Amino acid sequence: MRKPLLLAAAAAIALAGPAMAQSQTQRAQAAQGQNGSGTGVQQAPSSSASGRRGTGSAEVTTTAGFVRTAAISDMYEIESARLATQRSSNAAVKAFAQHMMQDHEATTAQLSSAVHAMNGPSPPTSMDSRHTEMLTQLRNARASDFDRLYITQQIAAHQNAVDLFRTYGQDGDNAQLKQWASTTLPKLQEHLTMAQQLRGQHS
């Protein structure tokens, strides 16, 4: 009887090994923002409630999802830019941040006006937990790390924004917002290019 029991126990341990390893890997990924970089720039989570058909901001095609995601993106951009103008000692970074603040304040006003005109869903008045955490990381960053972290976040955020506006401009469910998304897209692409150029200066 002992031999079958020992074999069964060995089999159970063998099966548990991969599961335990997977669990440890998942915990490690979660601790690093699930992107393995440890920079605090996390990937957008899946959220059917925000109008996504699958995962990632590039798949937002409903009016409610687009309005929510675009508004939160603008709020993050404005607040992170404000932090950069206060904390950065680099003239180029401060100038970029000032540019972001002005442009995203403008798109916030434009989105609000468009939604009001079409009696659409009201934009949110607060950020989601992911963008709140990104701002917290910027606030808590050491002075020597701030510029690099800000630029890294800016590249990721604008890549997401470009995908969001491009996809909604092509496949969105509201003609007026589709036009606005398509018109705004080149400005976001310009922002992404500017952020990438800044990274080249700080690499």
Q: How far is CA 117 from CA 40, 169, 176, 179, in A?
A: 37, 18, 10, 14
The answer to whether residues 23 and 101 belong to one domain is no
Q: Which residues contact 192 (CB under 8 A, 6 or more apart)?
A: 155, 158, 159, 161, 162
Least Cα distance to 103 among 45, 158, 28, 169 occurs for 158
pLDDT in tens, 128-186: 999 999 999 999 999 999 999 999 999 999 999 999 999 999 999 999 999 999 999 99
Domain CATH code at residue 106: 1.20.1260.10
pLDDT value at 17 more than 80: no
Number of structural domains (the chain) is 2
Domain match, 1 and 65 both:
no
Distances (CA, A) of 31 to 37, 38, 40, 110, 116: 10, 8, 10, 37, 40
Statement to judge: residues 19 and 101 lie in one domain: no
Same domain? 190 vs 103: yes
* Residue range(s) defining the domain that contains residue 2: 1-31
Q: For 19-51, what is each residue's pLDDT tens digit?
A: 433 443 333 333 333 333 333 333 333 333 333
For 56-113, write each residue's pLDDT tens digit: 454 688 999 999 999 999 999 999 999 999 999 999 999 999 999 999 999 999 999 9
Do residues 169 and 101 both lie within one domain?
A: yes
> pTM, whole model, 2 decimals?
0.72
What is the chain's alpha carbon radius of gyration, rounded to the nearest angstrom? 21
Q: Are residues 15 and 115 in the same domain?
A: no
